[in-house]
Structure 1
Amino acid sequence: MAPIATSPMKGTAMYVLLGSNGNITSKVAALLLGQGTPVRVVGRNAGSLASVKAAGAGIAAGDIGDAGFLAQAFAGATAAYTMIPTDYAAQDMAAEQDRLGNAIARAIAAAGLKRVVNLSSVGAHLGSGNGPIAGLHRQERRLDELAGVDVLHLRPGYFFENHLIAIEMIRTIGAYADMTAPDAPLPMVATADIAQVVARELRTPSGKGKRVLHLRAPSLYTMKEATALLGAAIGKPDLAYVQADPEEGRAALIQQGFSANAAAQLMEMSAAFSTGRLDGEYDKGPTEITPTTLEDFAATVFRPAFEKT
């Protein structure tokens, strides 16, 4: 376990972020540090935390499944951003989610934290039939049982950044393939917009108990529509979207290193999106419409990433 940076002076706000140098955490850290706010970022190892440390964050490296380590990392925090890292190699993905989630909840209680912004997901209102999102449903329930802690569960849509996996496919097979039905409308969102909300909410005392906030872009997008927008941005207006056979998709994930259990859970999640099990829940509220469109993302993030490869 790496040494944990000294807490700021008494009376100074300090925020702890789980998620190492991930898409959301790195952006939240940059926003808070840019405002002169002390930040401590928690990750598995010091190497993964090097860039946030160089940017001025304190770091804590260790297993977030170790509640003792995590309670020490939370010590002195005004509020914390929590999330459960995804381990697609786990032989029992749900059990690993629960191991980490239980440790997070115990550490929050042990550290006496009073405010938490928790990353959940669209679809977390369901406890089953939604793949790994069910684990986030259980974590919401777990954190809701903490007495005297204000918890905001963020339920964002499908990350725009997930589309970056299509770059290799486009180069190798000339199409975008996924298990989700081509015409199923999905709420999507940019991780930069999620980060803005996390940073804002960490700095905003609530006193409102346990809450949920859905996050999505101004429009819903089908995978077919998303593919057309991404294709247009890279000069391939005729780029095709291909719905992979679920069993073939599951087998391909296993070949890529996913455990059989994780592959099956992702297949279940795709089926939930495809069949409309999650439809409408994200607009039952409260819902915040975030500013970035998929067109924006395609031009400013997807195209530069495609051109780099």
Structure 2
Amino acid sequence: MIVITTPTGNIGRQVLDRVLAGDQPVRVIVRDPATLPADVRDRVEVIQGSHGDRRVVTRAFDGAGAVFWLYPPDRGADDVVESYVGFTRPAAEAMRDQGVKRVVDVSSLGRGTAYAGRAGQATASLAMDDLIAGTGVAFRALALPGFMDNMLRQARALQEQGVFFGALAPDLKLPTVATRDIAAVAARLLLDTTWTSRQELPVLGPEDLSNNDMAAVISEVLGKPVRYEQVPAEALGKRLTGHSVSEAVARAILDMMTAVNNGLYDGAARTPQHAVDTPTTFRRWCEDVLRPAVQAA
């Protein structure tokens, strides 16, 4: 039995689709079963509720060989590290008590760097990993950089202004990965019953790009000039808190961006295998996903 959390989310639904192509029974945890496509509901066992609820995860993890774990961010959290760890703690206890064999979670790059302990959301993700690893289950933490798919939030700005915004330095080259590749890696691990160890797995995508590099690619794909504009941290923080984000969450986002600017992702070494496991280039993703989204914005 494979258990999928967040089965209607951007990553979770793609993991679910891929796992359903395998030959193992699947169980999902979802607050509202009606949000699942009808054809999916017919093929899975549904446990209704929050995966932060001990009673729910105890039922869901009964007889589970593998669990896909993804923390659903709380935009109103007063303490981001405690939000990640506190939400995950009941599940970690249930993983241990119910004898779950393997867990794959969605986390962040940065462990072992000088900024790991003061990187906001990334620090919270690493603390969550430590909690899960401490249960003794076989564990793969998918250590991730930024997602290509985050650019979709700026589809309207790209369409109307030919610009996208961010807090990162414009010429800083960083790994970036498509969520469809993350889902493919997660599904492969969930369907593989042979691994038993605990380790972090960097999921880097096939190339490092700066925001200026991305602007050049987007310009070519959209057929019009596009530029990147770096936003001062203070202005970005005000923008976040103006959109129902708590001060603690806004600070955690800014702290992570500052840490990335200063080398949070430097500890991950790219190998040829990354191009095999995560083959989607930014150009291909723009052609397949971003261009249609911008045209529809």
TM-score with structure 1 length normalisation?
0.88
For the residues of structure 2 that align with 1:28 and 1:137, how far apart are their CA atoms? 21
Q: Which moved more, 1:207-216 or 1:41-50?
A: 41-50
Contact 1:214 1:287 (8 Å CA) reproduced: no
1:288 aligns with 2:284: no
Q: CA deviation at 1:216?
A: 1.3
From 176, 186, 192, the counterpart of 1:204: 192
Q: Point out the more displaced range, 56-65 or 68-77.
A: 56-65
- AA aligned opposite 1:283: A
Give the deviation of 1:177 after TM superposition.
0.8
Runs of at least 5 residues in structure 1 that lack an aligned partner in the other structure: 1-13
Q: How much has 1:48 moved relative to structure 2?
A: 3.5
CA–CA distance in structure 1, aligned partners of residues 270 and 279 of structure 2: 19
In structure 1, what residue type is equivalent to 2:127?
R
1:170 deviates by 2.2
Structure-1 residue corresponding to 2:209: 221
Q: 1:226-268: CA deviations, max 9, x gaps? A: 12212321222x2110000100010011112211111111111
The one of 41, 55, 77 aligned to 1:90: 77
CA contact (8 A) 2:139 2:199 kept: yes
Q: Which residue of structure 2 lines up, in the alignment, with residue 178 of structure 1?
A: 166
Matches within 5 A, 1:268-307: 268-279=255-266, 281-283=267-269, 288-289=274-275, 290-307=278-295
Q: Is the 8 A contact 1:21 1:52 kept in 2?
A: no
Partners of 2:19 and 2:190 within 8 A in 1: no
Change (3 A) 1:157 1:55: farther
Q: Which of 102, 109, 115 is 1:122 aligned to?
A: 109
The CA RMSD over aligned residues, in Å, is 2.1
Contact 1:15–1:39, Cα closer than 8 Å, also in 2:
yes
Contact 2:58/2:98 (8 A) holds in 1: yes
Percent of aligned positions with the same letter in both sequences?
A: 28
Match of 1:288, as an amino acid? H
Asked whether the 8 Å contact 1:39–1:57 carries over to 2, the reply is: yes
The Cα shift of 1:131 comes to 1.3
> Is the alpha carbon distance of 1:285 and 1:132 closer, same or farther for their aligned partners in structure 2, counting shifts above 3 Å?
farther
1:22 Cα deviation after fit: 1.2
What SS does structure 1 have at the residue aligned with 2:279?
coil
Residue equivalent to 1:140: 129
Q: Which amino acid aligns with 1:209?
A: S
Report the CA distance between 1:47 and its aligned residue. Answer: 3.9
Give 1:130 deviation, angstroms: 1.2
Q: TM-score, normalising length from structure 2?
A: 0.91
Query: What is the rounded CA distance, in whole Å, between the counterparts of 1:146 and 1:52 in structure 2?
Result: 35
- Secondary structure of the residue that 1:59 maps to in structure 2? strand
How far did residue 211 of structure 1 move? 1.3
Deviation at 1:284, TM superposition (A): 7.3
2:90 to 99, 103, 107: 103
Mark the CA change 1:221 to 1:88 in structure 2 (over 3 Å): closer, same or farther: same
| Offset, 1:188 | 0.7
Partner residue in 2 for 1:156: 144
Indicate the residue corresponding to 1:266 in structure 2. Answer: 253
Counterpart AA for 2:184: Q
Q: Deviations over 1:59-94 (max 9, x none)?
A: 222122222211211112221111211122223322
Deviates more, 1:54-63 or 1:75-84: 54-63
Which has the higher mean CA deviation after the structures are superposed, 293-302 or 32-41? 32-41
How many aligned residue pairs are there?
A: 293
Quick check: 1:158–1:187 contact (8 Å CA) kept in 2? Answer: yes
SS class of match (1:120): strand
Cα deviation per residue 1:3-22 (whole Å; 9 max; x = unaligned)? xxxxxxxxxxx210112311
SS of the residue aligned with 2:263? coil
The structural deviation recorded for 1:122 is 1.5
